[in-house]
Amino acid sequence: MMKLIFLGPPGAGKGTQASIASKKLGIPTISTGDMLRAAVKEGTEIGKQAKSFMDAGKLVPDSVIIGIVAERVEKADCAQGYILDGVPRTLAQARALEDAGIRFDHVVSIETTDQVVTQRLEGRRVCPDCGATFHTTSNPSKVEGVCDACGQALIQRHDDQAETIANRLKIYHKETEPLKEFYQQRGLLRQVEDTGSIESVNGRIMAVLGK
């Protein structure tokens, strides 16, 4: 059983690293960003509520997030643990998970700079069908603009525009960064430097997990 949180600014590589770790550890990744994007695409009530916040690079209200996470971790595939990617993102979300009796083994914080993540987000390309993530220079698809996994045309996320990226970073520093202190006080914080290739960052993450 391993319950993990991957923490870090937008573009730090949380999704990329969670996907690799998920396969190695045999536990699912729960990404609130992916869940919300799916809800927007399907036009559900949650999607309608979330869309304007996401397009502006703002956080979706805590009440929406807490509900979808609490429901998701009860599913059968979470019995052996899970990786939370991009949640919690506010102290209120972290406290709500704690109040619900959910405890974690490690909180992995990917440490990077605003300059690095801005370059990453501007070059990010994603598959609208299967969610695979690429980067125009650091992690290109085999055929430019086409998903390696399912052959769909890759797109740029709505919120990966320069102005929205700046807003997301501002909100990260104000709302999410204080979670490091919160989990440090609980002895759970594992800080991992985000220098080098995706594989080398993954090696450091597996090492702090004792794997």
Angle formed by the axes of helices 32-42 and 62-72, to 10°?
100
CB of 120 to ligand AP5, least distance (A): 3
Instruction: Of 132, 141, 95, give the one whose Cα is nearest residue 15.
Output: 132
| Catalytic annotation present for 95 | no
Note if 103 is an active site residue: no
Q: Is 114 exposed, middle or buried (0-12, 13-18, 19+ CB in 10 A)?
A: middle
CA 22 to chain centroid, in Å, comes to 13
Token pair listed for 33: 């960003």
Q: Which is nearer to ligand AP5, 38 or 188 (CB)?
A: 38
Active-site residue among 72, 120, 124, 125? 124
Q: Give least dist CB 198 to ligand AP5, A.
A: 5
Q: Give the whole-angstrom CA distance, residue 142 versus residue 45.
A: 37
Where do contacts with ligand AP5 occur on this chain (CB under 6 A)?
8, 10-16, 32-33, 36, 53-54, 57-60, 65, 86-87, 89, 93, 120-121, 124, 133-135, 138-139, 159, 168, 194, 197-198, 201
Tell me how far apart the alpha carbons of residues 78 and 23 are, in angstroms, rounded to a whole number.
14
- The answer to whether residue 124 is catalytic is yes
Q: Residue 190 catalytic?
A: no
User: Whole-number minimum distance, CB 49 to ligand AP5, in Å?
Assistant: 11
| Residue showing the smallest CB distance to ligand AP5 in the complex | 33
* Eight-state DSSP code of residue 8: -
The smaller minimum CB distance to ligand AP5, of residues 46 and 65, is found at: 65
Annotated catalytic residues are 14, 89, 124, 157, 168
